[in-house]
A and B are shown apart, each in its own frame.
Chain A
Amino acid sequence: MLHYTLRRCGWTLVQLAVLSLVVFLLTDLLPGDAATVDFNEQAGLDQVAQLREQMGLDRPLVERFADWAHGLLTGDLGTSLVGGGPVRDVLSSSVPVTAALAVVTLVLLVPLAVAVGLLTGLRAGSRTDRTVSAVTLTLTSVPDFVLALLLVGVFALRLGWLPSTWVGADDVWWQRPELFVLPVAVLLARTVCVLSRQIRAGTVTALHAGYTVQARRLGVPPARLVLRHVLPNAAVPGVQELARTGDQLLGGVLVVEAVFAVPGTATALVEAVQNRDVPTVQGLTLTLAAVACLLNLAADLVSHRLAPRTEVLR
Chain B
Amino acid sequence: MERIVQQTDLDALSCKMAAVSKGYLPSKELQENVCGFSDYKTIHLEYFKSIMKNLGRRAQGQINRSLQSSFPVMNYGTYLRTISIDMVLHDYISNHNDDGFIQIVNLGCGSDLRMIPLLSIYPNMSYIDIDYEPTIKLKGNLLGNSEFFGKVLPADRYRLLSCDLSKHDEVINLLKEVTDLTKPTIFITECALCYLKDDDAQLLINSLISTYRKAGLWISYDPIGGGGEGPDGKDDKNDRFGKIMQSNLRETRSLEMPTLLKYRNKDSYSSRFKQLPDVNIDVRIQNLWEYFTKNISDEEKQRLKGLQFLDEIEELQVMQSHYVLLSAQW
Instruction: Indicate whether A and B interact.
Output: no
